[in-house]
C-alpha cells in the first residue's frame, strides 16, 4: 500500500502539532512548516516517525517559502491542511481601531496564503484525488466584537473553499471550524483570562481524521458534527 502524504502548515504547536502527531503515528509521510525553526525542529524530533517528516520553516505569507513547501511535496499529495493562522492584534481591537495594515496581514496569512498553497500543489493534489482542509472558525459566521478582522479573513477562506470544491470536483475540499481550543492563539484572544476549561487541540483530531480518511463529501463542517455524537455522513 502506497504511503499517503500530507502537507500541514502551522505544525509546531496547537492543532497542527496534534494532527501531525496523529498522522505520523498512522504512517503518513508529512511535509510540515512553522515560523519558528527551533520549535518546529523540536516538534518533529518528538514525533513517532520523524524519518517520515520533512520540515520547512518559514512564513506561509512568503511566496518563496510556499515555493519551498511545494518543492518538498512528492508528485502525489493526498492532503493539504491549511492550518497556519494569525489572530491579529491582542487584545482584539474593535473595527474602528483595527489598523488597515493589520487587516492586510490577516488576509495575507489566513486567506491568500491557503489559496496560493493550493495553487502551488494542485497538480499533486489532482494526481492523488486529494483533499484540502482549510481550518476556519465560528468567527467566520458569527459577529463577535473584536473578531472582525480575523473573522473576515476566515469568512473569505470559507468562500474560497466552497468555490474550489465546485471547480475541482475530483478533490474533496473542506472548511473545518474546530471550535474553542486551549491554544496559544486562543489565549492571546483572551489575555489574562483562564482558558483552562477549553478542550485540548487533540480533541479535534478525530474530526480531522474523518475528513482525511473517510468518504465525507466536500463542505463546511464543525468538529462537533464529525465526532461520534454528532457525526453526519
Contact 166, 219 (CB under 8 A): no
Contact 65, 37 (CB under 8 A): no
Cell of 182: 486551549
Question: What span, in angstroms and rounded, lies between the C-alpha atoms of 228 and 76?
Answer: 31
Question: Which residue's entry shows cell 457525526?
Answer: 231
CA distances from 147 to 83, 140, 231 (A): 18, 9, 28
| Residues tagged active-site | 136-137, 150, 154
CA distances from 2 to 29, 77, 80, 220 (A): 10, 12, 17, 29
Amino acid at each position: 500500500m502506497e504511503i499517503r502524504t500530507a502537507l500541514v502548515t502551522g505544525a509546531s504547536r496547537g492543532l497542527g502539532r496534534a494532527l501531525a502527531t496523529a498522522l505520523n503515528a498512522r504512517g503518513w509521510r508529512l511535509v510540515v512548516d512553522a515560523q519558528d525553526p527551533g520549535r518546529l525542529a523540536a516538534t518533529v524530533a518528538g514525533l513517532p516517525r520523524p524519518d517520515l517528516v520533512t520540515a520547512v520553516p518559514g512564513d506561509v505569507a512568503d511566496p518563496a517559502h510556499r515555493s519551498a513547501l511545494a518543492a518538498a511535496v512528492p508528485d502525489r499529495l493526498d492532503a493539504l491542511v491549511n492550518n497556519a493562522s494569525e489572530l491579529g492584534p491582542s487584545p482584539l481591537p474593535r473595527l474602528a481601531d483595527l489598523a488597515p495594515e493589520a487587516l492586510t496581514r490577516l488576509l495575507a496569512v489566513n486567506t491568500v496564503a491557503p489559496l496560493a498553497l493550493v495553487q502551488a500543489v494542485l497538480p499533486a493534489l489532482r494526481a492523488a484525488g486529494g483533499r484540502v482542509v482549510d481550518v476556519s472558525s465560528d468567527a467566520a459566521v458569527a459577529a463577535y466584537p473584536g473578531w472582525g478582522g480575523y473573522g473576515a479573513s476566515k469568512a473569505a477562506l470559507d468562500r474560497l473553499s466552497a468555490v474550489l470544491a465546485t471547480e475541482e470536483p475530483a478533490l474533496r475540499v473542506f472548511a473545518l471550524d474546530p471550535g474553542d481550543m486551549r491554544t496559544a492563539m486562543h489565549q492571546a484572544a483572551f489575555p489574562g483570562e483562564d482558558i483552562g476549561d477549553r478542550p485540548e487541540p487533540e480533541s479535534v483530531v478525530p474530526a480531522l481524521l474523518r475528513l482525511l480518511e473517510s468518504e465525507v463529501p466536500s463542505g463546511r463542517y464543525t468538529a462537533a458534527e464529525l465526532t461520534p455524537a454528532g457525526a453526519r455522513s
